């Protein structure tokens, strides 16, 4: 499903209902979102446990017939064996793919050393590819999300993760077409791009050779933003302009859930 120049558009549902709704709109695959799921629990990103993430992944897998890739953060472990165990759990719940990132979760030291990071990807890949149902492993270089906009280091990391066995490469936070194009040229695996503000539109990313585009928590927070807007209108203006959007949403849900 990953074709350079014909990017797979992979939206990120945050619960069972949003998974079914997105599936009804014609997407070919889905991915979980750690930040969107955390929000459903009243938490910020990075506060979900491994067991919670795996159970949530199982819910999304069961919601539709589409393949699902899971955002499993840093594998919920520092050591490679712990990351491998997480991948084993991902296979058990029927996921088609999973991602592992090189972010430590520690603000004072946010990114793993490249050597350890590659070892973690290698362990994840060995587990992901060992069983009868091969898990598509996405390796993420998190520099740009943690105040380290270093393209050369990001590319070196992605190349190391490729050699370690990753199937898809992903550097969330890249926005400039020139940088994204350089990443695509310098690796030999499909590249995923996160749809952030300022990221070129799908057609331009396709011409650059991008193979997949995901939205992270953007759809979840767009929905929550609509709730805030509607609630603010009701409380401060006493009007019901939000009913138009509500009617469209209700109609879409009726079609998706019938």
Tell me, yes or no, whether 48 lies in a domain: yes
Tell me, yes or no, whether 92 lies in a domain: yes
Tell me, yes or no, whether 75 lies in a domain: yes
In this predicted structure, the answer to whether residue 50 has a pLDDT above a threshold of 90 is yes
Q: How far is CA 166 from CA 91, 127, 179, in A?
A: 16, 11, 21
Residue 176 is predicted with a pLDDT of: 98
Q: How far apart are CA 249 and CA 174, in angstroms?
A: 32
Residue closest to 75 by CA, chosen among 125, 39, 114, 149? 125
Tell me, yes or no, whether 213 lies in a domain: yes
Residue 36 is predicted with a pLDDT of: 98
Provide CB contacts within 8 A for 73, sequence distance 6+. Answer: 34, 46, 48, 53, 100, 101, 103, 105
The CATH number of whichever domain residue 103 belongs to comes to: 3.20.20.60
What mean pLDDT do residues 163-181 have?
98
Tell me, yes or no, whether 245 lies in a domain: no
In this predicted structure, the answer to whether residue 134 has a pLDDT above a threshold of 90 is no
Tell me, yes or no, whether 232 lies in a domain: no
- Residue 161: pLDDT band by 50, 70, 90 thresholds? very high
Question: What is the distance in angstroms between the CA of the first residue and the CA of the last residue of the chain?
Answer: 28
In this predicted structure, the answer to whether residue 242 has a pLDDT above a threshold of 90 is yes
What mean pLDDT do residues 94-117 have?
97
Residue 132 is predicted with a pLDDT of: 77
Q: How far apart are CA 139 and CA 226, in angstroms?
A: 32
**Mean pLDDT value across the chain:** 97
- Residue 16: pLDDT band by 50, 70, 90 thresholds? very high
Tell me, yes or no, whether 251 lies in a domain: no
Q: How far apart are CA 207 and CA 217, in angstroms?
A: 25
Q: How far apart are CA 133 and CA 91, in angstroms?
A: 7
Q: What is the percent of the chain where pLDDT is above 70?
A: 100
What mean pLDDT do residues 109-123 have?
98
In this predicted structure, the answer to whether residue 7 has a pLDDT above a threshold of 80 is yes
Q: How far is CA 54 from CA 1, 16, 82, 155, in A?
A: 24, 14, 14, 30
Q: Hey, is 73 helix, strand or coil?
A: coil
What mean pLDDT do residues 56-78 have?
98
Q: What is the percent of the chain where pLDDT is above 90?
A: 98
Residue 52 is predicted with a pLDDT of: 98
If one counts the domains in the chain, the total is 1
Tell me, yes or no, whether 243 lies in a domain: no
The H or E element that residue 48 is part of is none
Q: Hey, is 134 helix, strand or coil?
A: coil
- DSSP states of 95-126 as a string? -SEEEEE-B-S-TTS-B--HHHHHHHHHHHHH
Residue 81 is predicted with a pLDDT of: 98
What mean pLDDT do residues 245-250 have?
96
In this predicted structure, the answer to whether residue 133 has a pLDDT above a threshold of 80 is no
Residue 127 is predicted with a pLDDT of: 97
Q: How far apart are CA 39 and CA 226, in angstroms?
A: 15
> Helices (DSSP H) in 45-170: which residue ranges?
50-63, 80-92, 114-128, 151-163
In this predicted structure, the answer to whether residue 131 has a pLDDT above a threshold of 90 is no
Residue 77 is predicted with a pLDDT of: 98
Domain extent at residue 77: 8-217
């Amino acid at each position: 499903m990953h074709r350079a120049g014909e990017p797979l558009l992979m939206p990120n549902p945050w619960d069972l209902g949003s998974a079914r709704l997105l599936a009804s709109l014609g997407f070919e695959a889905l991915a979980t979102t750690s930040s969107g799921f955390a929000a459903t629990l009243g938490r910020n990103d990075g506060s979900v446990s491994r067991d919670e993430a795996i159970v949530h992944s199982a819910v999304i897998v069961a919601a539709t017939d589409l393949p699902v890739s899971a955002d499993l953060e840093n594998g919920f472990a520092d050591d490679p064996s712990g990351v491998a165990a997480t991948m084993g759990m991902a296979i058990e719940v029927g996921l088609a793919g999973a991602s592992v990132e090189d972010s430590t979760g520690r603000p004072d030291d946010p990114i793993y050393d490249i050597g350890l990071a590659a070892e973690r990807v290698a362990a994840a890949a060995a587990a992901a590819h060992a069983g009868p149902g091969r898990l598509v492993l996405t390796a993420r270089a998190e520099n740009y999300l943690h105040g380290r906009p270093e393209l050369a280091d990001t590319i070196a990391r992605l190349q190391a993760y490729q050699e370690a066995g990753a199937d898809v490469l992903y550097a969330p936070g890249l926005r400039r077409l020139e940088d994204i194009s350089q990443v695509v040229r310098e690796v030999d695996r499909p590249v995923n791009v996160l749809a952030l503000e300022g990221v070129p539109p799908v057609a331009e990313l396709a011409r650059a050779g991008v193979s997949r585009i995901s939205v992270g928590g953007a759809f979840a927070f767009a929905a929550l933003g609509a709730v805030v807007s509607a609630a603010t209108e009701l409380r401060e203006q006493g009007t019901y302009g939000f009913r138009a959007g509500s009617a469209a949403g209700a109609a879409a849900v009726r079609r998706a859930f019938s």
